Every structure is written in structure tokens, then in C-alpha cells.
Structure 1
Amino acid sequence: MRWKRRSGRATQPWRLSARTLITCSISTIIGFSAICASVMIDLRRGEEVRARQALDNMAAGIGADISRNIELYDLSLRAVAGNMLLPEISGVSKTVRQLILFDRASTARNFGNVQVFDASGRLTIDSSTLDPVPEDRSDAEFFQVHRDRPDAGLYVGRPANHQGQYAVTLSRRISTADGRFAGVVAGSIRLSYFRDLFARLTLGPGDSLTVFRRDGTLIVSAPFDADAIGRNLARAPAVTRALTEPSGWSSSYGALDDLPRLLVWRNGTEPLVVVASKSWESVYAVWRNEAAQIGAMMLALSVFVLAATQVAAREIQLRAKVEARLERLATTDPLTGLKNRRKFDQTIETEWRRAQRTAAPIGLLMIDADHFKRYNDTHGHQAGDQVLVGIAVCISDSVRRAGDCAARYGGEEFAVLLPGSSETAALAVAETIRTKVAIWAGDAGNASISIGVASVTPSRDSDWTSLLNAADKALYMAKAAGRNRCVAVAVPKPAEAAALAA
């Protein structure tokens, strides 16, 4: 058991090296994964930015076209409203009146005819004919708004099916010089205009364009949804923001499909507000494919690195075991199994320095087999080897601390280093060893040992040879006193040792 523990300590640095390799590999994988994650996050943000820019450009382009056409149509309505107040307008022929009123009226195919209603809501003039069919629009929303609100300005009506086609009414109030209500001039923009406008764009999967009236009423959307026309979506959070902010973006659920969407709007202060949106699913579609590919490559690379690291760590551990075995062979006495003289010298050097740093005592036992040469000559070398093995077993059985070092010092001589042991403690260990050897030898008394004991707390300027010399001196004293005994001597201080040497 004792040699296994020491073997474990010897191989520990190599196990740590294998662990360090694994730790470094795992840290490297984590580091590269973090870098890849950071790159993927940046790519994800880039997709968001590009999607917002694309939607912003789309909304800006559509909004500018709508605003420009509404402005042109409004100029026509303004001209008609202004010319209706000319005194001579009532005295000219219908043909001349048409030329005066509608010479600047828009005639594009998606724009409806311009009509003039008097103060009671009856149709009096129509740009498409000299003799309009009688019509009463006093109950129409746009007529009531202008009648009741002199400051209504250009009024955009709700989309409605008029004469077989969906259209949005644009109207302006006709006021006399003193501000009295004199009627309404109204025109219309067919929803086909918006659909033709949207058709110029290539909408991708998840893309959507919606035009709202200022009160949140949906005018038209792309993809086209006839059931959604005229629905008021002002309560939707994104629509509310679009109607209150000139421009911006938000992430919200679609008001029509209830999908998470990126919404961008422009012309929030115009009569019609354009909202372009894209589902987050389609925004991240390309990014998800790239992330999956990079993630798969990173996973494969991580598996490869971990597998290679495991193989390398296993090789390191095998090499550590081999080197530990070689170390044991190089530092172990083959006969007794104790440390050899080389290992003992390395250990006492290390422990002496540690004792100097910590100001702790260090004990040493020098052990010699009594009358070994005579026994060896009488009973033979094999019997002598058995005696040495028996003494070594008794020593190993008595020295159990992890820091202790028992070694075959040479021939029939042994040494036991006891770090942290005072003279009393070292003498007790020595007596234990001597007693066990005596018991092991039995009544025949064919083996005994003499032990020299020394212990000292090293000073800064001392050397471990002083401890060795003192223990060796004690050993000779034990032999001189009759053998089979333990003798302890004090270790001289450096000054005393120098004086004795002189």
C-alpha cells in the first residue's frame, strides 16, 4: 500500500498534464464557440438591419408615389373648388364650364371622375359628362364631414365599393368668401391603383405592404385580402405607433395574420400611411441556414478535437505510467523494495529546504544490521538477503506517514528520514523498528539492528550533512554500547561543527 501511494504522488504531475491538455482543449472549444456565437449574433443583427433598410426603402418608395399622386389629385380638387366660386361660372355654357373646371383634373385610368355637390348634397357637375345623372350624397361620410368641419381640408374617405369597383374618395369643401358651406368637390382613387403599384415590387415570403387611413382603417394590403379592406386596426400597437410617429419601426404581431413581424412605416403625417412588414421567420431564414451549417461544422470540429485530446491524454497517461515505473525502478532498491541511496539523497535535500523555510524539525534514523557480515559468511548470501528483506519489511511497517522516506543506504545499512519529527518522536519510531526486528528474528536471535537517532530544526546557514553525520555518529555509539539498541545524539550547531572541524 505504501509504495502505491508514493507511486501515485510520482505520477500525479503527469495526470495533471493530461487534465491540463483536456482543460485547454475544452477552453479552446469554448473560446471558438464564443467567437462563432458572437459572429452569428452580429450576422443576426446584420440581417435585422438589412431587413429594416429594405422595408424602409420599400415603404418610402411606395409612400412617395402615393403622396405624389394624392397631391396632384388634390391640386385638381383645389382648382375645381376655387373655380366654382368664380362669378362668371354660372353664365357660361356647360362645355366651357367643363373646360374651366376640369382642365387640370387628373385623367389617369385609376382615378375616378371629379364631381361637384351643392350645399344640399345633390350632384350638379361631373367631369365625365355634361349631363350627370341625378344623385344625392347628403348622407355620405365625406359630405357630412365637410359640412360640419370647415377645417377638414383634404378628406380621405373609407374604401367602399362604388359602381362595381373599390375606391377611396378624396374630397374638399367649397366655401364662399364669407366661409359659408357651398358644397363639396369629390374624386376617387380606385384600389386598382394601389394593386398596380404593389405589382411593381417583388415581395418575398413573409413580406407585406399595407396602406392605412389616418384613423387606422385599412385601405389595401399586399398580398391582397378583400376581407380586410375597410377594417379598423387602430388598436393594434404597431398601427397605433405608425399613426402617431412620422416614421419608425417596431417588432410586433401582425394585425392580420398574428405572426411575429418586423414593421417599418413612412409618411406617418400624410393622409395615407404606408406600413411595410416582414415576418421574423423570413428575416432569419438565411441566417438560420448559415447558423445551422456553422453550428454543424463547429460540432464536428469540437468532437474531433475532444476525441484527439482524449487520445493524446490517454497517451500522456500511459507514458506517465511508464515513466513512473521507470522512476520507481531507478529509485527503488530491487532487493528490499525501499528507496535507494540516490532517491534518499534527493529527498533529504528537498525536505531539508522545506524544514528551513517552515522552521520545522527533521529526524533521521541510521540503521545497521548487527554482525551481518559474519551471518552472511556463515549462512550464505541468500540467507543474508532474507535478513535484509525482513529488516526492510519491519522498517516499512513502522514508517507509515506520507512524507517519511525509508531507504537502503548501502549494504546492510538503512536510513529513515522523518520530516517534522523531534528527537523524542524519532527515537520512538527507532525503538518500534528495533522491537519489530527482534520479534521477527524470534528466539533464535539470528538478527538484530542498531539504530542511530538525530533530530534538528535547520537554521538558514546549516547543511543536511550535519544531521547525517550526527545520526551516523549515534549509530557507532549504539554499536559500541553492545548493539541491538537505539542511541540518540544532538546535532551540533554550525558554529560548534566548525570549531570541531578546526
Structure 2
Amino acid sequence: MPFPKPAHKRPLKSVWFAGLVAVLLLGFCSLAATMLMELRSEAWSRANTGADNLLAALSQDIERNIELYNLSLQSVIDGLQLPELPTLRPAVRQAVLFDGASTAKYLGAILILNEKGDVVEDSGSVPPRSDNFSDRDYFKIQMVRPDVGLYISAPFRRRLTGPGDLVVALSRRLTRPNGSFAGAVVGTLRLDYFKALFDHLSLGKRDAVNLFSADGLVIMRSPYDEAQIGQDLSRTANVQRFMTAQRGRFTGVSAVDKVRRVYTFTHIGTLPLMLDVALSEEDVFAAWRDRAAVIGFALMALCGMAASLAVLFAREMQRSTRAERDAQASEVQYRLLADHATDVIVRLEPDMTRGYVSPASRTVLGYAPEELAGHQPHEIAHPDDWPGVASLIDEARVTHSNFEAIYRLRHKDGHQVWVEARYSIVGEGGGFIVVMRDISKRKQAEQKLEAAHAELTRLATTDGLTGLANRRCFDEALEREWRRAERDGSSLSLLLLDVDRFKLFNDRYGHQEGDACLRAVAQAVAACTGRPADLVARYGGEELVLLLPGTEGDGAAVLAERARAAIEALRLTHEGNLGQGGVVTASIGVASILPSMVTHGGINSPEGLVVAADEALYEAKRCGRNRVVEKSGMPTAAVAPRPADEEARLEALAAYQVTGAAAPAESLDRVARLAAALLGTSIGFVSLVERDEQLLVGRHGLELERTNRDASFCAHAVLGEEPLIIPDALADARFAANPFVLDEPRIRFYAGAPLRSPLGGHNLGVLCVADTIARQSLNAMQRGLLTDLAALAVADLESRRLEAAGDHATLD
């Protein structure tokens, strides 16, 4: 009869189990407490992040709109400095003064007040309204404080529009040259702007947004209460905290409705305004409290269940017998078989033959268990998948570890079944219990998801109008190909293409025809490339770009000419492009580099390659459009060539000279002065390019009357149709040694628009602006302004020519 085991081991085992249960319960409680604290912190962080984002969006909108209005006031002040302003007619003077003023739904008229507060100019009325505003705070403060800058008044009701129109005034001081007070420029902003801005916010019932002046006056709040507008809350604790810090966050009780809120506040840029977002503290943590109650209840239930299970398990342990311990060895092998009866369960013997196959094999693989038993798995495994599984089996036998694998098995009817198999090593002999689950449907879903992802990726890199690659795709490809060219020492070329006078095409034929035109041009250009590595993309608007890896300048120029000819061959009617035969054409700029070169030809970045192609494109458009210009082929000679129509051009110029219309004139001096003022340069002049000299017939900031033609900038500018722009003459090979650059007047920046005469369309000369410091190139708006002023100078010359011709006819 076997001796029983000592009885003292059972209580010791129970003590260990009770301690484990206690540790688990303590762990549950600690985990729940940690989770609750994290959830509370998350709720607090989420509320503060939302408040920060809302505060940033509101302050940015308010700062941008008020700054636009401030710039409008400053534009009026700058306009008052023009010396010819008093000589203009009232309507013209109003147009000049208020041309730069912003107009929007909530902005009122801009008034110019003299030192007595009388209205002297009015953006909304000619003649100006008769009124005096010397009693207003926005006028008084400008009179007594020269340093106040932009002043934003307290809310008030305008005299002219009735009691329901609440506004704030924005004013700036007018100062005489001796520093004395000359008056003020003032405009109004309706508080409806702030109300509309705040009404679009999604706030809780007890949340609030407030806008204060720098001295604590309420300008606007949400929820809106008209009775609170204009109230002085500067003595309240919350507003005092706003006033003493640039930005911050704190919790406090509202002085208005006594609700405890979390205040996030900031001063709006440099404006005398303060903005706060106040979230109800109770609402911030409301969801957290509900969740905490649920978690607490669940924790109590979990602890109760754990304690009950612990008691039951302890009793079961006490009733366990020696037979249960003897059966433990076999339980390791067969527990999975009982737990996973719906999956295919296989016992692999050490020789890798199947010792047991569960009945689920009929459903999953179409085989009866006896058809698979005694055979090896690789017989029905996919040949591409099994070597990887076999390697995992060998590794598991060495490390005595379990593993999972996904592979394909051949169904009895021939199709492939995807299975997810979990291999559990059993015993020391190297056998396995394998549980296999059919995941074919999941794999199909994954494949569909991958296909959808690929389609989304394609859409994200394709231009919806032309079907070409979009700007994002081009930027990524340019960066990638630049790195490849640097690594491999290969060449890289870029073509930048712009449809000529496309705005006129849209204006004449409409945007739908414009879209059709762009699609046709895109298809024609794409058909000119044949290599998979070449990329044609829409760069923006009517601009296309071609990226040509491994292509040098000569090859890129050939392809560019092929693309230009293909576009012209479309013969798409374009009556706004009569200079090119009345059909759609394009100008193309070409830039190429060999990144292995030390200097890259002055190009040392992907962005620099785009800039170089853009410069070549502008030169193509300046020289007449419908042509290809290479960056490396742009003019470098110091002496400009003579135009092809030189004799006809000189003959047209003579028509002005014989009538005296080409003589220097005050009216042309004004044009030169206006061009310099509008473009911010120190020099402006109107030149007529003669056979050997250039004559300055209008001047500002320059004493010269004649110069040698070969040394003149204008001899180059007169060759093109668009303005010639030289940001830095010392960096341009044509002008680096020019005497007007090295000596007085030491020109560094130059921009000149040709004076195109109606007599045969010849360029008589150039309207120029220049400066003694290098500057950025002119933008499209500035180039258009310079071209318009050149047309004004031509109109002046033509008017004087016709007037002189009429006088001669009268004398005859």
C-alpha cells in the first residue's frame, strides 16, 4: 500500500495561491486607477488641444483681417505723400488714395480727417461727406500720442447708420514733415464680423469665447449678449491675468455667470486685442466621470468574480487526485484538440508524418482524415511556401519553441486554400500539434485592400484634369532623380512649358474650352516622350514640366522642340495669339546639369534646376513666345545684337523725332517717377534707343541725358516683347563689366519694359526702373504694372506726335 504524501504541502500550496489571487486583485485595482488617471489626463489634454487649435484659428483670422485693413490705412497715408496729388481732379484723387483699400462685407468707408477732425477725403463719396469727428476717442488719441500706431477704439454706434450698427474704429496718425499733428486716417469695422466668426463655432452650452481690447473692454463674446458689449472688465481677476501675460492657461470662475471654466488666452499678434476660449470644467470631465463609473463598476464585478473563482479553484485543488497528475502529460497533447474542434488539428510525428487528423479536414481541405494520415505535409503544400515552413520547423526543434506560419495547401478539388497554422512542439522527440485555420476569405479581403490602396496611391499622384502626374508626384520624382544623378554621376534635364497667352484663351473661349485645350496639349507633349523613366507632369495652371533623367542639354533641346512643334501642329484656334498665327502655341525653357560637376553650372539643388528652367522659359516668352530657350544658351554678350527689324524700327522712331514728340518732356518725367515709386526703386527713366545712342526723354533720380547704345541695358531690353529683369547686374555676364554698374550710377538692379509703337509694332525704346542694390525679380503683378506704364509712355509719345502732325497740317 503506497504511503500518502505529507499533508503540510497542501496548505502551503493554498497560501501561495491565495497570495497570487491577492496580487492579481491588487494589480486589477492599480491598473484601473492608472487607466482612470490616464483617461482624465487625456480628457484634459484633448480639451486644451481643442482650445489651443480654436484660439489659433480665431486669432489668425482676426489678425489677418485687421492687418489687411491696417495696410489699407497705411496705403492711404502713403498716397498722401505723392507730390502731384493736389493737382488731380477729386475723382482721380479719390481713386489714387483709396486704390489699395480693402473692401469686404464688414468694412466701412475710410475717411481722412484734418487736424480739426473735419472730413477732407472720403472713400465712399465724392465730394466727401461734411462731418466732424474731433470728439471721438480714435481721433483724440492720435492727436495726443504720436507713438500709438494703429488704434482700435471701444465699440460704439455710428452716427450715419442708426442705433443698431455697432462698430469699432481703426485709426492711424497723419504727421507733417516737422512732426506736428496733421490729422488721422480712420475706418470702421462692424462687430457683426466678430459675431459671424464666433457664431460658426461649435461650443458647449457652458463654454464661451471672448474678445477684449488691450485695456479690458468687451468687444465680442459667444454666446452673444449685446448688453455686455463695451463693458469694462479690466478689474476682474480673470481679465487682469489676460492683461499681464502674452498667453497662458488657467482655471477660474467667470465674473459674468459664475461658471468655473478653463481659460486659454492669447494676445493677438501686435494688435491691442486679447482673445480667450473658456471651457466649462464640469463639461470637460463629464465624459470621464461617466467612464470612471463604468470602469469602477466593472472592476468591482471583476474582483468579485476573481474572488469567487479563487474560492472555487482552491476547493478544486483540494479535491485533486493523483490520477489528475498522471493525466497531465497526455493533456498537453490533446487539450488543443478539444479546444479547436472546428479547425483542422494535426499531430505530426517526429518523422513529419501525420499521426492524427481531425474531421474538420473534410470542410477545410476536402480530404477525409484517413486520406491525410500517414502522409507528409509537403505533399499538398504550395512549393513556393513550404521551404519557409520547413525552415521554421527545423528552428523550432533546436530552440524548443512554438511558431505560427501562413501558407497555401492544395484542396482536393485543386484550388489553393490559405491557412494560418500554429505549431506547438510536444515532448522531446520533435513532434508537433498543428492547428490550422482557413483564412482564404481574409486573404482575399487583404488583396482587395492592397488593390484599393494602389488605386488611391495612383489617384494621389495624378492630375485630375490632364491625366498626367501631378505636382506632388513631380516633386518626389525630382528629388529622387537628383539623388540618383548625384550618386551615379549622370545628367538630368528639365523642361518647363507654358501655353502662350492662355489667360486670353480662357477669357475668350471659356474655362471648359480651356480645360479641353490643356488636355490636348498634355496628350501632345506626353506623346513626344518614349522612355519609361521620363516624367510629364502638370506643374500648375497652364504649365507642364518634363523630367528627363540621363538626358543632356542637346537631347533635351531636341525633345523640347519636338513638343513645341507638336503643340503648334494641333492647330487649336487662339485669336488672342495672332502674333503666332492665331493658334495655340507654347514657350519652353530647358535647364540641364551634370551633378558630378563641381559647380553644376550654378545649379546646386533640385529647386535651383526648376528656377533655371523658369528663367529660360521667361526668356522664351520675352523674346516672342512659341520658342525653346536653353538656360545654357541664354545671351551672355555685353553688346546687344541689333533687332532683325532695326531699319524699320529706326524709321518708326524718326516719325516721332521729326515732329518733336521724341523730345524730353515733363509728362514722361512723371511716368518715370511713378514707375520708380510704385516699384520701390530709386531710379526711373524713359529711353529711346537710336542707332548709336540712347536718349533719356523722361528721368527720375538720374542726371544722364544720352548714353552710348552698346553700354546700355535698354539695347538688350528693346529686343523682346516682355520686360527684361536683371535682379543683380554683377551676377549677369552681360552687365558685370558694364561702366554703369562699376561706376556711377552703380546700377545693380534693372527692369525695363519695351515701348511698343503702333507704327508697325516696333520697339522705340524702354521704360526702365533701376536701383543701386540687388533686388528680387519682379512678380507677375509688378511686371504687368511696368508693362502698363510703358503703354502709358507710348500713349504720351503718340499723342504728342499726332498733335504735332495736326499742327503741321494746319500750317500747310
Q: What's the TM-score, normalizing by structure 1?
A: 0.56
Residue 106 (structure 1) aligns with: 102
Q: Where in structure 1 are there 5+ consecutive unaligned residues?
A: 1-10, 320-502
Instruction: Tell me: CA distance 1:313–1:236, structure 2 relative to 1, closer, same or farther (3 Å).
Output: farther
Is contact 1:82–1:174 with CA below 8 Å preserved after alignment?
Answer: no
The alpha-carbon deviation at position 308 of structure 1 amounts to: 4.8
Is contact 1:167–1:191 with CA below 8 Å preserved after alignment?
Answer: yes
Q: C-alpha distance in 2, partners of 1:280/1:289?
A: 15
Q: C-alpha distance in 1, partners of 2:249/2:105?
A: 34
CA offsets, 1:184-210, max 9 Å, x none? 111111111112222343334443222
Structure 1 stretch 275-284 or stretch 246-255: which is displaced more? Answer: 246-255
Q: C-alpha distance in 1, partners of 2:268/2:172?
A: 21
Instruction: Tell me: CA distance 1:20–1:230, structure 2 relative to 1, closer, same or farther (3 Å).
Output: farther
Q: C-alpha distance in 1, partners of 2:110/2:255?
A: 34
The amino acid that maps onto 1:232 is D
Structure 1 stretch 195-204 or stretch 140-149: which is displaced more? Answer: 195-204
Q: C-alpha distance in 2, partners of 1:232/1:27?
A: 60
Structure having the higher Rg: 1
Q: C-alpha distance in 2, partners of 1:254/1:16?
A: 63
Q: Find the residue that maps to 1:114 and give its secondary structure.
A: strand
Task: Tell me which of the two structures has the higher relative contact order, counting C-alpha pairs closer than 8 angstroms and 6 or more residues apart.
Answer: 1
CA offsets, 1:411-436, max 9 Å, x none? xxxxxxxxxxxxxxxxxxxxxxxxxx
Instruction: Tell me: CA distance 1:33–1:236, structure 2 relative to 1, closer, same or farther (3 Å).
Output: farther
Q: How does 1:52-201 map to 2 (within 5 A)?
A: 52-162=48-158, 163=161, 164-201=164-201
Q: How does 1:5-44 map to 2 (within 5 A)?
A: 25-44=21-40
Q: C-alpha distance in 2, partners of 1:313/1:236?
A: 66
Q: How does 1:25-424 map to 2 (within 5 A)?
A: 25-162=21-158, 163=161, 164-271=164-271, 272-308=273-309
Is contact 2:59–2:268 with CA below 8 Å preserved after alignment?
Answer: no
Q: Find the residue that maps to 2:58 and give its secondary structure.
A: helix
Structure 1 stretch 181-190 or stretch 158-167: which is displaced more? Answer: 158-167
Is contact 1:242–1:268 with CA below 8 Å preserved after alignment?
Answer: no
Structure 1 stretch 66-75 or stretch 20-29: which is displaced more? Answer: 20-29
Q: C-alpha distance in 1, partners of 2:318/2:228?
A: 72
Is contact 1:244–1:268 with CA below 8 Å preserved after alignment?
Answer: no
Q: Percent identity?
A: 35
The alpha-carbon deviation at position 40 of structure 1 amounts to: 1.1
The amino acid that maps onto 2:97 is L
Q: C-alpha distance in 1, partners of 2:47/2:226?
A: 27
Q: Find the residue that maps to 1:112 and give its secondary structure.
A: strand
Is contact 2:246–2:267 with CA below 8 Å preserved after alignment?
Answer: yes
Instruction: Tell me: CA distance 1:314–1:233, structure 2 relative to 1, closer, same or farther (3 Å).
Output: farther
Is contact 1:173–1:183 with CA below 8 Å preserved after alignment?
Answer: yes
Q: Find the residue that maps to 1:276 and give its secondary structure.
A: strand
Q: C-alpha distance in 2, partners of 1:286/1:182?
A: 60
The amino acid that maps onto 1:171 is S
Instruction: Tell me: CA distance 1:121–1:291, structure 2 relative to 1, closer, same or farther (3 Å).
Output: same
Q: Find the residue that maps to 1:251 and give its secondary structure.
A: strand
Q: C-alpha distance in 2, partners of 1:81/1:14?
A: 98
CA offsets, 1:260-295, max 9 Å, x none? 222222345432222122112222122222212111
Please state which structure has a larger fraction of its residues in helix: 1
Q: C-alpha distance in 2, partners of 1:82/1:179?
A: 16
The alpha-carbon deviation at position 315 of structure 1 amounts to: 9.5
The alpha-carbon deviation at position 132 of structure 1 amounts to: 3.8
Instruction: Tell me: CA distance 1:127–1:268, structure 2 relative to 1, closer, same or farther (3 Å).
Output: closer
Instruction: Tell me: CA distance 1:270–1:70, structure 2 relative to 1, closer, same or farther (3 Å).
Output: same
The alpha-carbon deviation at position 91 of structure 1 amounts to: 3.5
Is contact 2:261–2:279 with CA below 8 Å preserved after alignment?
Answer: yes
The amino acid that maps onto 2:184 is V
The alpha-carbon deviation at position 183 of structure 1 amounts to: 0.7
Q: Where in structure 2 are there 5+ consecutive unaligned residues?
A: 1-6, 321-812
Instruction: Tell me: CA distance 1:269–1:208, structure 2 relative to 1, closer, same or farther (3 Å).
Output: same
Is contact 1:116–1:184 with CA below 8 Å preserved after alignment?
Answer: yes
The alpha-carbon deviation at position 135 of structure 1 amounts to: 2.0
Q: C-alpha distance in 1, partners of 2:318/2:238?
A: 63
Residue 378 (structure 1) aligns with: none
Q: C-alpha distance in 2, partners of 1:317/1:259?
A: 61
The amino acid that maps onto 1:235 is R
Q: C-alpha distance in 1, partners of 2:172/2:38?
A: 51
The alpha-carbon deviation at position 232 of structure 1 amounts to: 2.2
Is contact 1:245–1:268 with CA below 8 Å preserved after alignment?
Answer: no
Structure 1 stretch 90-99 or stretch 174-183: which is displaced more? Answer: 90-99
The amino acid that maps onto 1:285 is A
The amino acid that maps onto 2:95 is L
CA offsets, 1:117-141, max 9 Å, x none? 1111122222111134422221111
Q: C-alpha distance in 1, partners of 2:258/2:10?
A: 61
The alpha-carbon deviation at position 43 of structure 1 amounts to: 1.4
The amino acid that maps onto 1:261 is R
The alpha-carbon deviation at position 225 of structure 1 amounts to: 1.8
The alpha-carbon deviation at position 148 of structure 1 amounts to: 0.5
Is contact 2:55–2:276 with CA below 8 Å preserved after alignment?
Answer: yes
Instruction: Tell me: CA distance 1:16–1:159, structure 2 relative to 1, closer, same or farther (3 Å).
Output: farther
The amino acid that maps onto 1:243 is M
Is contact 2:63–2:269 with CA below 8 Å preserved after alignment?
Answer: no
Is contact 1:252–1:260 with CA below 8 Å preserved after alignment?
Answer: yes
The alpha-carbon deviation at position 23 of structure 1 amounts to: 6.5
Q: Find the residue that maps to 2:219 and give its secondary structure.
A: strand
Q: Find the residue that maps to 2:107 and give its secondary structure.
A: coil
Is contact 2:138–2:153 with CA below 8 Å preserved after alignment?
Answer: yes
Instruction: Tell me: CA distance 1:111–1:268, structure 2 relative to 1, closer, same or farther (3 Å).
Output: closer
Is contact 2:111–2:123 with CA below 8 Å preserved after alignment?
Answer: yes
Is contact 1:81–1:174 with CA below 8 Å preserved after alignment?
Answer: yes
The amino acid that maps onto 1:147 is M
Question: Moved runs in structure 1, 4+ residues, more than 6 A?
Answer: 11-23, 310-319
Number of residues of Structure 1 aligned to a counterpart in Structure 2: 310
The amino acid that maps onto 1:280 is E
Residue 780 (structure 2) aligns with: none
The alpha-carbon deviation at position 105 of structure 1 amounts to: 1.1
Q: C-alpha distance in 1, partners of 2:80/2:138?
A: 19
The amino acid that maps onto 2:168 is V
The alpha-carbon deviation at position 15 of structure 1 amounts to: 9.1
Q: C-alpha distance in 2, partners of 1:273/1:296?
A: 45
Is contact 2:63–2:268 with CA below 8 Å preserved after alignment?
Answer: no
The amino acid that maps onto 1:229 is I
